[in-house]
Structure formats: C-alpha cells, structure tokens
Amino acid sequence: MSARVIVRDLRKRYAGVEAVRGVSFAVEPGEIFGLLGPNGAGKTTTLECLIGLREADAGDLQVCGFDVRTQPEEVKQRIGVALQSTALQDQITPREALRLFGAFYRQNEKPETLLARFALEDKADARFATLSGGQRQRLALALAFVNRPELVLLDEPTTGLDPQARRELHGAIEQMKRDGCTVLLTTHYLEEAERLCDRLAIIDRGQVVATGTPAALIAEARGAQRVALTASGPLDRARLTALPHVAELQIGPTANAATFRTARATETLAALTALLAAQGLETVELTVRKASLEDVFLNLTETPAATEAHG
C-alpha cells in the first residue's frame, strides 16, 4: 500500500525568513507518525501546508495519493484535522457542530456515534462556550473524524491541557491506531512522542535532522550515555576532559560534582576510577543513565551556542 503522506523538499518562507527548508518524510498507512521539534522549528508550517491552510513555496506534497496543491478538494474529503485550538461559535453545541461539519463531506459519521466515541454524550447539547479545554479538544478530534478519514492530522493536540485531559486524549489517539487509522501529529512533548508514535521525524530550524522509530533513534544515540559524578574533593576540569570519550563536561553545581556524556561508558569509567584514586578522592555518588529520547532530541536540536556553553 502506498504512503498516506509524501513530503519532498518542502519549502516555505515568511517575510524573508525560510521557516521550512527542504523538509522530506513519508507516512505509511496505519502508523502514527510524529513531527517532533522545539517551538518555531517548522512543524506547524509543514502541517499547514499539507492541509491547505498555507501554500508551499516549493516541494512535492501528496496526501492519500492526491496532490495537495492541484487536488485540494479530494485531499480534504479524505483527511480529518484537529488544530492546536479549535474555535467554534460560542452558541453552537457539539451535536450541531458534528451535524454541520458532516454535511460538508460526501460521506459522514452520525453525530451520536462520535459523541459516544469521544465521551461527549453528556455535553452533546451544551454550548461550546461552556465546554472545558479537554472537552473542546475532544470535540476537535470528533470533528476530525466526522468524514471517516483515511488520515488524521493533529497539530499539538495536547498543548495546554491538564494531565488528566492529556491522558484521555492519548487514549483516544491510541484507539485511532487500533482502528487502523493513519495519524500524523506534531508535538514538542517528548514523552508524548515516545509513547504514541511509531515513527518520528525530528525537525529543527526548518529541517528534518533525524527520522526513525523512537527506539532506533535512542539506540543510535546510545553513545550519549550520561554520567553524573560527585567526589569527596574538587574535580580538575582539564584532567576529566582528557579522559577517553568524554564530551559535554559540566562542573557543578559544586566544584566536587560533574556531569558528562560518553560513547563508551566502561572505558571512560575505568579511566575515571584510576584518575580519582591517583588524586586521592573518594567517589561519593556515581550514576550512569542510558540515553533517552530527550537526550537524542537535545543532542540534535541544541544550538551551537548552547553546546559551547555546556562545554
């Protein structure tokens, strides 16, 4: 089966600034694909170009086999979208909104079905203005499903929600996958990306800097194991830096403590133990933590200036 989304060399410029610089990725049927990146990285712009809210300056965009720019009507018939925040009229009710949006499509789901699926039955006839943030976001998801879409695109779906509402929404997105739906979501929450996504594209400053499953990305970053050390006396920065495979050394918060990353933990720790013994220092605390997605993310998205500061 062909990819649900194909993005090739997407470029978009605003007022002289290139917000998206040659982004490429593909989303396969049935997977949850995440665009992960810091704020302003170009995730939302990429998504908005795909759903027709913005016109790309260059690049090839295909959704469900249709060209986004020449066949927008066919694309819109097949996708469901939930934006970061969905605004509707204050006086509209969820039931009315689902009925109205359903009328815009060739095929549609019954409002009652969607109300039940997204736990909105109790609020079916409440005015939009009276809904909580979580209820509004569930309604946004329900609206995304009103046309039985082949592909659902979610732009930072849990931003601004409390932990309870976020958990509920994670459950709803996982259910989409179980139902066989393809999902493309943007997020800057690492744990959300790690929990929900089958594959990720990490975007930074308008470019894709890594693509793969969360596990593969972490495995690739295994060389970034983090060591935290507290000794009985002051540590010598120059000698620690000279240890094999040490990177990103930081002394602090006291002169007795240091953190660093290493590609080969065993080799580095053996040399470290020898160094401490030679200096007559005792090890008060020593931890070695495997790389997380956060490490991968930070490693890939840190600005040169930030890296220098860490060093």
Residues near another protein (CB under 8 A) are 51-53, 73, 76-77, 81, 83, 85-89, 91-92, 96, 99-101, 103-105, 127, 143
Please, which residue, 36 or 88, has the CB nearer to another protein?
88
Q: How far is the CB of 79 from another protein (least distance, A)?
A: 8
Which CB sits closer to another protein, 11 or 99?
99
Nearer to another protein, 81 or 265 (CB): 81
**Residue 71 C-beta: closest distance to another protein, Å:** 11
Residue 198 beta carbon to another protein: minimum distance, rounded to whole angstroms: 24
Phi, psi at 141, each rounded to 5°? -65, -40
Q: Cα dist. 306→101, 223, 248, 254, 301 in Å?
A: 46, 20, 11, 21, 10
Phi, psi of 11 (to 5 degrees): -135, 140
Q: How far is the CB of 267 from another protein (least distance, A)?
A: 54
Of 54 and 177, nearer to another protein (C-beta) is 54
Residue tagged 């002051």 (tokens): 234
Supply φ then ψ for residue 12, to 5 degrees: -150, 130
Q: Which is nearer to another protein, 99 or 195 (CB)?
A: 99
Amino acid symbol at 207: Q
Q: Report d(CA 167, CA 158) in Å as an integer.
A: 9
Q: What distance in Å separates the CA atoms of residue 259 and residue 266, rounded to the nearest whole number?
A: 16
Q: Which is nearer to another protein, 93 or 187 (CB)?
A: 93
CB-based contact 137:157 (threshold 8 Å)? yes
Shortest distance, position 170 Cβ to another protein, whole Å? 23
The distance of closest approach from Cβ of residue 105 to another protein in the complex, given in angstroms and rounded to an integer, is 7
The Cα–Cα gap between 116 and 277 comes to: 66
**Residue 304 CB, nearest distance to another protein (Å)?**
32
Nearer Cβ to another protein (77/292): 77
Residue 290 to residue 225: CA distance in whole angstroms: 5
Q: Is 10 left (phi over 0), alpha (psi -120 to 50) or beta?
A: beta
8 Å CB contact between 79 and 27: no
